[in-house]
Amino acid sequence: MANRIGPFSYTMGWGNDAINLLNKVIEYINKDASETDVALLELATTGEATTGTDTTRAVTPAGLKAAIDAAIAAIPSVASVQTGTVFDYVGSSAPSGYVFLDGKTIGNASSGATSRANADTSNLFTLLWNSMADAQAPVSTGRGASAAADFAANKTITLPDARGRVIAGQDDMGGTSANRLVGTLTGSLDGDILGNSGGEEGHKLTVAELAAHTHTYNDRSFALRTSTGVNTAVTAVNTNTGSTGGDQQHNNVQPTLVLNKIIKL
């Protein structure tokens, strides 16, 4: 007859019932728990819970909280975003740690900058100063010996102006030009220059931009009879086919979604 003590079952035998019960206990202790089998569980330490790779230990509420806190802490914060990183943004004012990419100026607290005048603009001021020429990021009263010297001298530097513009990758990004934003077709825009801008909202075609073509018309010759009765042949000259068209610019804007652009200080 089978007997049970808790989860253990054993059979009374010839003096070996205690051995059977002990074997069952040992088997139960050594068995791993699963979704279908009951067994003893070791509790995971906080480190094991945070690592999240162990499949045999149980997690306590404290361990679970530690793992969640660690995951939240790993999410990039404003402080971990690199200076000069540009994002799309739907807010009407720039969030803390950012300014709009609107062609205004930044500088120290005494600079009189139009976008932000504060010591926290130093990193972006330095990055723009070192990355772009004065033609693309002008410094008030001209550039001095270094970015640090100009910042300390209360000078301002001009932010790139993304208002009404799309942003393209620098044509020679990585050191080799792709030759997609250079040449006569881009007009004044040289895509190899970081911070350069150009392009047109609308464009009026020139004769040179028209496709080669011809116009066909009837060049008629006819005879006139003079007062003396003599027929004189006359050939029409300087004939044109007539004029059409509005002589206006055409829309040059691609399908567009309008958002704000912000840059990390």
With bands split at pLDDT 50, 70 and 90, how would you rate the model's confidence at 216? confident
- Poorest-pLDDT segment among 21-30, 79-88, 105-114: 21-30
Give the pLDDT confidence score for residue 193 in this predicted structure: 92
Give the pLDDT confidence score for residue 205 in this predicted structure: 85
- Poorest-pLDDT segment among 32-46, 104-118, 168-182, 230-244: 230-244
Answer whether residue 127 shows pLDDT above 50: yes
Mean pLDDT for 138-143 is 97
Residue with the larger pLDDT of the pair 182 and 103: 103
The vertex-189 CA angle with 186 and 192, nearest 5°, equals: 105
Instruction: Report pTM.
Output: 0.64
Answer whether residue 19 shows pLDDT above 90: no
pLDDT in tens, 174-214: 999 998 888 777 777 889 999 998 887 788 888 888 888 88
Cα–Cα distance measured from residue 58 to residue 35, given in angstroms and rounded to the nearest whole number? 12
